[in-house]
Structure 1
Amino acid sequence: MEMSKNAKRRLAFVLIDGVGDVSLPRLHYQTPLQAAATPNLDAIASAGVNGLMDPVEAGLACGSDTAHLSLLGYDPRVYYRGRGAFESMGAGLAMSPGDIAFKSNFATLDENTGIVVSRRADRHFEEEGPILCAALDGMKLPSFPEYEVRVRYATEHRCGVVVKGPKLSGNISGTDPLKDNRLLLKAEALDDSEEAKNTAAVVNELSKEISRILVSHPLNGKRAAEGKNIANVVLLRGCGIRIEVPPFEKKHGLSPCMVAPTKIIAGLGLSLGIDILEAPGATGDYRTLLTSKATAIARALSAPLEPSPSIFVPGEDQHKPGREDGYDFGFLHIKAIDDAGHDKASILKVRALEAVDQAIGQLIRLLWQAEKCGNYQYYLCVTGDHSTPVEYGDHSFEPVPFTLCQLKDFVSAVGEDNVIQTSLDAFPLPSVKAGDDLSDKVELSGMKEDRHKAFAGDSVYEFSEIAAARGCLGRFPGSEMMGVIKKCLKLKNE
């Protein structure tokens, strides 16, 4: 197939949250990526260029928000102002300059001792969360009637909380003790300004009033009767203001869109001027429909051949159509791998990585169909924002693999028939029970050694932390990622 020299170059960027890991004894000293059967990810590595990436800098265990800022070309040391604004905007709360917001958890408080016995009232809070948020939204603060409080459900046990009013500062501490069985904290000013002192007083009253409303809510009475943790406090952390930054499109010359059901990532995208696409069934947790995510990104990158999905606008009830001429940079965020790391679920992480690989195969088929029908050249990029090893159950400082190839090279590597025959049927993420015998789930010893040979780019033919170290890109900081991408797309750097 001969492509015009003026063909539009478009990139599908897949970020697997928490993808990196360490060698595990129960995986025969392989990482989950090495143990998982991931033929599509391996073929991307085989068809392209590879490297190891430190999302912010070597040796730093970073959060998803600071990592995403760095990867997208925004120095978090300059632009980061707390994650609360990202979470709240992603949950649908519009923010104006001067508003403050928090990344918040529904939690369980021992009212007699003031100890937070569980920072997560319930990981599966999809039904109760919106009900409790509706009870809190618009609440009044007796000592501070001039302030408006907005609350919106996010995902799992999380919600967004925004405070609007005069003389607010983001420079305060939160109320979250960050670990179970510790005392609920009081917000404190982190500088000597009157704004910070005033904001701390407002937030402490807000925390008190939230608990008063939640304790008397009938839903918590029902949970108590059923022997479940009650959600009688909202932990407020990551106080932040909406950042003012150059829009992504102006900075990089690429029109961007994003599928990110995880609210904090959606809010970060909105802050950078990135359109957030609707993807029915995409939830940002283990229940998510990866096929829906892949389809939404493919449609957005295929427009105007395909109608672009609707986009999400915070603070508005209706949704708006996406760009008629489509997008150049399609960001697909996948969260469930990170959840498996936090849950210390090694088998589930392996199986979920295999599901991600299947969804990437679906994305590739849809993009290849568009490339054959339209004047497009597609590229694929896959990486992570940090490592979340199942041994630790938290983010760590290990670098993550990075791979980038042109779609036509991928197709040449695996054969067009294999691409076209990929099923587009929707599928759920795997369910793995505790105690399952891993040897019944995955092959272990050297299973990838003979699957691929390097097809183009460099000598790497496997997508893993170990293989990526051999790549021609070497080891590089996340701040250089967009430069690498634009160089491969033959676009001018800023």
Structure 2
Amino acid sequence: MKLLYLIADGMGGWPLDELGGQTTMEAAVTPNMDELAATGTVGLAQTVPEGMAPGSDVANMALLGFDPATYHTGRGPIEAAAQGLELGPDDLVWRLNLVTVSKLTIDGVMRDYSSGHIASEISRPLVEKLQEKLGNETYTFYPGIQYRHLLVQKDGALTDDAGLFINPPHDITDKPIKLDLRAFSRSPNLWDLLFEARDLLADRSVNRSAANSIWPWGQGRPLNLPNFKETFGLDGAVISAVDLIKGLGFASGMTVVDVPGVTGLLDTNYEGKVDAALNFLKDHDFVFVHLEGPDECGHGGSARDKVEAISRFDARIVAPLREALKDEETAWIVTCDHFTPIKEKTHTTDPVPFVLNGPGCASSGVDGFSEKNAASGLKLEKGHELLAHALKTFGMK
């Protein structure tokens, strides 16, 4: 039997007046997810443990069956695993955004956590220039994808910097950066690096993008996860545009499938992800397909775009996979990692709706896949138990 685990990042949300009181899930055109929900089991899973920040790092770790309260060390270390960085046990790995701020002062505001969704071909040379000019024995810059990069602080886990709390920049869009600058100021070396980077990015001979500051956050020691196959008995792969998901795959010994043309945005290569999933399933039994688009639209505050992203997920991911595998014995888990409500423009800790469809699943009879309908079903207080519960239900463990 083949098991497909389909994730629409940030798909969940809250009712909106502009959608007549519907959520973006309810307003989207999702006949395939609706049918899976009606003929399968729906429920809610608490993917973010109490006291932890509702990030995709925490929530996707839970979806893959690993308790974030036990294994999570930070966002940066997960993405470092995706890049295969060689790290010392006491290195501190920061996620590094290229951002746009009104000004890097106590009365500044975070204008854009992504510098206008800066393209990789523009951001990579900037991070390489940061490394050339500012890298040293303590700090090393590593280019990633679009606005998402890394900063490794040698032996930084042994310093007070490990305990600094810096807001994820997508949490403070159009909000003051005062509290974060105060946190940065408690680390003289990091403070100097922040302003040296600002000055370098202000040089128009080096940078003509909207990026005018670096933003280190999500720091932690290197990640260590149990082996996925040994834990769950599944020979699986992850398929995603973002290093976060790839890092979870690498760290747990899964296959990481790269798909050309994936962007993490609304215009990603949907067909490439479907083809990659089907090719992998020819000889293997599990695939985790992650789509970033709904989350990015939620951060952008566009209900229209988020409705479209969810509709595309149904039409261009769920539908073709169902059609291609209609004659195969398959089981399905469809969910999101966290809510990204349009009103908030960032993640929340709401339990996420999920549907299980396959052997052993009772029909819920709901009229569609939504937050409200999922609330009428199963409740899982520990989101990292969703995968194990599904495997038991499907008779796969």
Q: What TM-score range do you get, normalising by the shorter chain?
A: 0.7 to 0.9
The residue aligned with 1:322 is: none
* 1:341 is the counterpart of 2:298: yes
The residue aligned with 1:173 is: 164
SS at match of 1:130: helix
Give structure 1 stretches of 5+ with no counterpart: 1-8, 190-199, 224-228, 304-325, 372-376, 410-454
CA distance in 1, matches of 2:257, 2:64: 18
**8 A contact 2:128–2:141 mirrored in 1:** no
CA distance in 1, matches of 2:35, 2:102: 52
* 1:480 is the counterpart of 2:385: yes
Aligned with residue 90 of structure 2, among 85, 88, 98: 98
* 1:255 is the counterpart of 2:264: no
Letter in 2 for 1:339: E
Give the 3 Å change call, closer, same or farther, for CA 389–107 of structure 1 in structure 2: closer
CA distance in 1, matches of 2:216, 2:91: 15
* 1:232 is the counterpart of 2:232: no
Aligned with residue 58 of structure 2, among 63, 66, 71: 66
Letter in 1 for 2:319: G
CA distance in 1, matches of 2:157, 2:338: 36
Give structure 2 stretches of 5+ with no counterpart: none
Question: Aligned ranges for residues 42-121 of structure 1 at < 5 Å?
Answer: 42-57=34-49, 62-90=54-82, 93-108=85-100, 113=105, 116-117=108-109, 118-120=111-113
* 1:149 is the counterpart of 2:140: yes
**8 A contact 1:293–1:332 mirrored in 2:** yes
CA distance in 2, matches of 1:486, 1:302: 20
**8 A contact 1:139–1:149 mirrored in 2:** no
Aligned with residue 323 of structure 2, among 365, 368, 382: 365
Letter in 1 for 2:177: R
* 1:211 is the counterpart of 2:198: yes
CA drift at 1:60: 7.5
Aligned with residue 378 of structure 1, among 330, 333, 348: 330
The residue aligned with 1:426 is: none
Question: What root-mean-square deviation, in Å, do the aligned CA atoms of Structure 1 and Structure 2 show?
Answer: 3.0
- Bigger relative CO (Cα 8 Å, ≥ 6 apart): 2
CA drift at 1:130: 1.3
Give the 3 Å change call, closer, same or farther, for CA 181–475 of structure 1 in structure 2: closer
* 1:131 is the counterpart of 2:125: yes
* 1:297 is the counterpart of 2:277: yes
CA distance in 2, matches of 1:153, 1:101: 13
Aligned with residue 354 of structure 2, among 402, 405, 410: 402
% of aligned pairs identical? 30
CA drift at 1:490: 1.3
TM-score, L = length of structure 1: 0.70
Letter in 2 for 1:158: R
SS at match of 1:368: coil
CA drift at 1:215: 3.2
**8 A contact 2:88–2:155 mirrored in 1:** no
The residue aligned with 1:27 is: 19
Give the 3 Å change call, closer, same or farther, for CA 168–462 of structure 1 in structure 2: same
The residue aligned with 2:249 is: 269
CA drift at 1:329: 2.0
* 1:490 is the counterpart of 2:395: yes
Hey, which of these two has a bigger chunk of helix by percent?
2
**8 A contact 1:242–1:271 mirrored in 2:** no
CA distance in 2, matches of 1:382, 1:344: 24
CA drift at 1:386: 1.1
**8 A contact 1:13–1:382 mirrored in 2:** yes
**8 A contact 2:104–2:213 mirrored in 1:** no
Letter in 1 for 2:164: S
CA distance in 1, matches of 2:216, 2:53: 22
CA drift at 1:217: 5.7
Letter in 2 for 1:355: R
Question: Aligned ranges for residues 311-350 of structure 1 at < 5 Å?
Answer: 326=284, 328-350=285-307
SS at match of 1:171: helix
